[in-house]
A and B are shown apart, each in its own frame.
Chain A
Amino acid sequence: MDTALAIGVRFVETLFFVGLAGSTVVILLSFVEDFSQLFSQEDEK
């Protein structure tokens, strides 16, 4: 039971931290893109 719980916990931790690493890239890229959009005069093509 404890082993199953430990495996489950490690699995969830892995999902979370891998997701967090990927989300950091999303945050950086989308922030740069949208922040420049905020001050851009260029509109939808």
Chain B
Amino acid sequence: MASNTTNVPTSNRVKLVVASSVMLTFISFWRAAAIVLNDLGSSAFYAGGIAEEAVGKAAPWFILGVMLFSFAVRSVYVESCSMFTRGGVYRIVKEALGGTFAKLSVSALMFDYILTGPISGVSAGQYIVGLLQELFNVGFQYHVLPGSHPFVFGPHAIDHSSAVFAVLVTLYYWWKNIQGIEESSEKALSVMKITTVMVILLLGWGIFSVIHKGSPLPPAPIPSNLHFSPDALGFLKHTHFATMLGAFGIIMAFGHSVLAMSGEESLAQVNREIEHPKLPNLKRAAIVIAIYSFIFTGIGSLLAVMLIPDAVRVPVYRDNLIAGMAMYMVGPQMLRIAFRVFVVIVGFLILSGAINTSIIGSTGVLMRVAEDGVLADWFRKPQRKYGTSYRIVNMVAGLQVLTIILSRGNVIALGEAYAFGVIWSFTFNSLAMLVLRYKYKGERGWKVPVNFRIAGVEIPIGLFSVFLVLLSTAFVNLFTKATATISGTIFAAVFFVLFSLSEKDNKRRNSKVERQMKEHFQLEHQDTVGREALEIRPGCLVVTMRDAENPYALRWAVARTHTDDQDLVVLTARMMGMGGPEYVDPSEQMFSEHEQMLFTKAVSVAESFGKHISLLVVPAGDVFAALVQTANSLEASAVVSGLSSKMSAEEQAFYMGQAWENLPNPKRQFTFYVVKPTGDSVGFHIGPHAPALQADDVQLVHRLWLNLKRYPEMQELHHRDIVTYALTRLAGEYARDRQEIVKELRRSVVEPANKIAGPSTRPTLDRGAPSYPIPPPRPPSEQE
């Protein structure tokens, strides 16, 4: 890709280089699969109950069918991810179908994402309240608690308590997102490990119980076995047609089960972060996700119907079906209750994680459309203390809390609405992909099979088939999901109007901002960051800047830098949330008023000191990755950052170090300075460096050298040989007995009372040594 210079340089304007490639940290396909499964796997906790309430006892077959079909939907997402597009659902659909469809598509996706939070939170609440009820009953049964047995919460009490729980968890994650927590792949992997233990126990014990009890399979998925609830008939409820559904009933049942594959869209969100080789790893992640969710959600729902008796399955366990399975396994009651507790813990972890994912996902989508100029600039203003897009987070969390309150904790109502968002967002995506087969001529790594060519024209049979299933299901859902159709249409209409008005307003504002930017700055777009673009020398100083009102880190750096000898680069990371692109086209990089203020302030600070600076904007998925990658590309000798509002200077340095370790070779070390608002600073070496030895340590090495030098064969000995020998010996001992070395090291580092500096462990030299004592070695923590 060639670089694209937007403006002709003039002498009085500060150079502002804008990078197009997004700076990211990459994850393995296992971690990517874990992130998606945290969302997709969570639907196993409620999809079975919702589907059975709607279509009757044959529901598990439809869940299994949907999970099988999700293999095909996964293929569509793999194809969309394999295209080198500018990313984001809005961009893809806009390119294929135009702006109006793109706005509708984003609205449907938002409906899906927003509802993921409430349904997950309420479902987690249902599992917890159900468990409490069970524990109370056991307490009464064994006279541990005073009172009567059985103890039953009223239906409204369960729903309302679940709603309160969901609101509290949503508010917790709202605050965490305001502070700017990242979705950690490490945490997702840990949750999936514990979930896998539960799934193995659930399926293993479940299959054993089914065989032991001789439980029959659910009735076959044929029209005569479908028993729709009045709500599941939707607008058809009072029509003559409702009495003679036939094969149409199969589509209706399929539509009521479609929420089992909700979360599949997260695959497109994590795609950007998957490590090289991208496409094979994406396909690996996709197949792991599909198999896992088929087994967990599909087989799990089937076993639930086989194990839990009809009399209690829907009335008691509809909203906590897996907990019900635990209670009807073969085995002692206490073991079953213990397993139920485990199920609830896992459910809480995965479902509350899904709330966080939904806030992050919704925020990511809205940030992306805001960057595309479809959401008012007002939403992009960062939070003063934490730098997050707090207005978007507030809106997302506000809508989620409102949804929970309106649903009053009713999982069925939430599930209905959720399915609307899921099916329409999948349908728009597959339609866009179908159209792009003809419109998009760029790079495409993979195509959904089967494809034929007739007279030179490609016929995408496979993709068209998937689209037909999605479209017909979405269409039927319009008639059979009354609440979802009404609420979804209102939601989509509101968002559509919001996007349309924002777009109009942004166009007006952006032309003004762009004109002013061109007046004040010499804008230059580059694919990647390099010294040549900025015209700087090696060993520069990179300063991060986020807050135009309080640029103390920049002031600190400018005051200490002689820009005649050392170049100073002011870096602004443009955060591209989850689901953002890997590459941002120069023509699409719009500057917000906030960014304009930031750059103007940076220049005025530098001018007040009579210094010259260069400005650099990098799109980033991870701020630390952006900093180390930029520092490495610019061959910087130091990076200066203000103290974070949410972590200590040491934590900032730790994350910088971690990002540096993930950098590919060649990479160079630099010093990282964290400047506090008071003007004090702390410096950290990033990358391998000589440890800052204390005078005592140097003395010890020197005395050892003096002792050893007395031997005739040691005449060539140097100080460094002693250090090398000591380290080699430590490495050898560590290889032989890791535990022992770790134990000793911990004693010396963590437990000051047991430091090896104690008199009993003080090393001694032979009597022929010089007549001054060797001081005790100091623990490493004090050396650094």
Contacts and interface: CB of A to CB of B under 8 A. Distances in A.
In this complex, the interface size class of chain A, counting residues with CB under 8 Å from chain B, is 20 to 34
A30 B475 contact: no
A43 B45 CA distance: 36
B278 interface: yes
Contacts of B284: 34, 37-38
Contacts of A37: 280, 283-284, 287
A15 to B, nearest CB: 4
B493 interface: no
Contacts of B475: 12
- Chain B contact residues, majority secondary structure: helix
B288 A25 contact: no
Contact of A27 (B69, B278, B463): B69
B132 interface: no
- Chain A contact residues, majority secondary structure: helix
A22 B462 contact: yes
B471 A15 contact: yes
A18 to B, nearest CB: 6
B476 A27 contact: no
Nearest to B75: A30
B277 A44 contact: yes
B448 interface: yes
Interface in A9-36: 9, 12-13, 15-23, 25-27, 29-31, 33-35
Nearest to B286: A34
B465 interface: yes
Contacts of B277: 43-44
Given A16-B468, A19-B468, A44-B278, A9 B248 contact: yes
B72 interface: yes
Interface in B429-450: 448-450
Contacts of B290: 31
A38 B71 CA distance: 15
Among A5, A22, A27, A30: residue with most chain B CB under 10 A: A30
B251 A12 contact: yes
Interface string B47-75: 00000000000000000000011011011
Given A22-B464, A37-B280, A30 B448 contact: yes
Interface of B: 68-69, 71-72, 74-75, 78, 241, 247-248, 250-251, 254, 276-280, 283-284, 286-288, 290, 448-450, 461-473, 475-476
Given A9-B241, A19-B464, A30-B448, 17 more contacts: A15-B468, A15-B471, A15-B472, A16-B468, A17-B247, A22-B461, A22-B466, A25-B465, A26-B449, A27-B71, A29-B449, A30-B78, A30-B449, A34-B287, A38-B284, A44-B277, A44-B279
